[in-house]
Amino acid sequence: FVSVLDVFVMIVIYVLFFGAIGLILFLSVDAQRQSYFFSFAEAVTQLFVLLTTANFPNVMMPALEESWFYFLYFVLFLFFGLYFLTSLMLAVVYNQYARDAERLEMHVSNKKSIVLLRAYSALVPSSARRLHFA
């Protein structure tokens, strides 16, 4: 099974990789217009925010004003990040929740059985517990 930590590490590596590519790609963009990819830390931060689409058109507009070719960078990042990685994270979190809920249900069911057997033992005398068939 894939753990939440594994998927999170994949997302971090993905964003770091695209941050490095973005920094290299947008070196030619005018510094006055490029306020999102001026350092590696800022590029990575903006890409993490971009995975939520909170800054979607704003982050790519300065690059698009320079060349429409940069649109491919953002489309590739968003397509794979949004439709694969975030969906994978959601699926892994849900599967973990379902497994934990099932374990909890089994634990509660076992506890109920033990408590019922103890209550039965306390209420019914030991001589009456035997079944007699005629």
Q: What is the pLDDT of residues 36-65, one digit of tens each?
A: 888 899 999 999 999 999 988 888 888 888
Query: Residue 51 sits in a domain of what CATH number?
Result: 1.10.287
Give the chain's mean pLDDT: 88
Other Cβ atoms less than 10 A from the Cβ of 78: the count is 16
Q: Which residues contact 60 (CB under 8 A, 6 or more apart)?
A: 70, 71, 74
Is the pLDDT reported for residue 30 higher than 80?
Answer: no
pTM over 0.85: no
- Structural domain total, the chain: 1
Q: Which pLDDT value is given to residue 1?
A: 63
Per the domain annotation, does 38 fall within a domain? yes
Question: Between residues 95 and 132, which one has the greater pLDDT?
Answer: 95
Are 82 and 14 spatial neighbours (Cβ–Cβ below 8 Å)? Answer: no
Q: Which residues contact 59 (CB under 8 A, 6 or more apart)?
A: 36, 46, 49, 50, 74
* Containing structural domain, residue 85: 4-93
Q: What is the pLDDT of residues 96-118, one digit of tens each?
A: 999 999 999 999 999 999 998 88
